[in-house]
Amino acid sequence: MTLIPITETDHDVEIDLRYATPDNFTGQPVYLHGDCYLHPEAEKRLRVAIDLAARQGWKLKILDAFRPSQAQWKLWNHTPDPEFLADPRRGSPHSRGVALDLTLIDKSSGETFDMGTAFDAFTPLSHHGNTDISPLAQKNRMLLMGLMTVAGWDFYRNEWWHYQLFDSRDYALFGDDDLPRTMTAP
């Protein structure tokens, strides 16, 4: 199985892979570059979500997608917290190419929607349904969840930004060897 490249041009999304920068919970790049990939089935459902968002004047901003198994180990070794990270021995839906971390942006202004916490805020405030965030952030999370659910994605209750295919554990794991170039930083 070949993973499909996701690009801003071909998919009309904004791509800001946080693990390709130091702007993530590890404080250093985990990826060597910001190449974005998904499993073909996930890419099909992404296109549905993109279309639904565009009809509302929104755009999807992808913060993470496929994550090589090697990168999952780096994250786990830094912060082995099963509330927010999949144990790499089990495998992450990201390492199967069937998960996305994302948010919404307003297509006309380019402003990112307020979701109440930053991406990868490992706190109960990041949980879906948390009412300790502003009403606007609660509404924005519900908009994202509704859009992604209608497009065929399941959510992870601890992370407002994480969506995966419903049968995510049925897909094979992928690593750096399955890519045109190594993604995980040494």
| Domain assignment present for 60 | yes
Residue 146 forms part of a structural domain: yes
Catalytic residue among 14, 41, 83, 159: 159
Q: How many domains does the chain have?
A: 1
37 part of a folded domain: yes
- pLDDT tens digits, one per residue of 108-137: 999 999 999 999 999 999 999 999 999 999
- Asked whether residue 1 carries a pLDDT value surpassing 80, the answer given is no
Is residue 138, in this structure, part of any structural domain at all?
yes
User: Residue 182 is which amino acid?
Assistant: T
For the segment 82-113, what is each residue's pLDDT rounded down to a tens digit?
Answer: 989 999 999 999 999 999 999 999 999 999 99
Q: Which residue type is seen at 51? A: D
Domain range for 166 is: 4-178
Looking at the domain assignment, is residue 132 inside a domain? yes
> Which pLDDT score, from 0 to 100, does residue 37 have?
98
Report if residue 186 sits inside a domain: no
Q: Binning pLDDT at 50, 70 and 90, where does residue 169 land?
A: very high
In the residue annotation, 111 being an active-site residue is answered as no
pTM for the whole thing?
0.96
d(CA 184, CA 74): 9
Question: Mean of the pLDDT values across residues 148-174?
Answer: 97
Indicate whether 185 belongs to any domain: no
Domain harbouring 59, CATH code? 3.30.1380.10
Nearest to 59 by CA among 99, 26, 91, 102: 102
pLDDT of residue 134: 98
Q: What pLDDT sits at residue 122?
A: 94
Model confidence pLDDT, tens digit, residues 11-69: 999 999 999 999 999 999 999 999 999 999 999 999 999 999 999 999 999 999 999 99
Task: State how far the alpha carbon of 103 is from the alpha carbons of 70, 113, 132, 171, 175, in Å.
Answer: 25, 7, 19, 24, 25
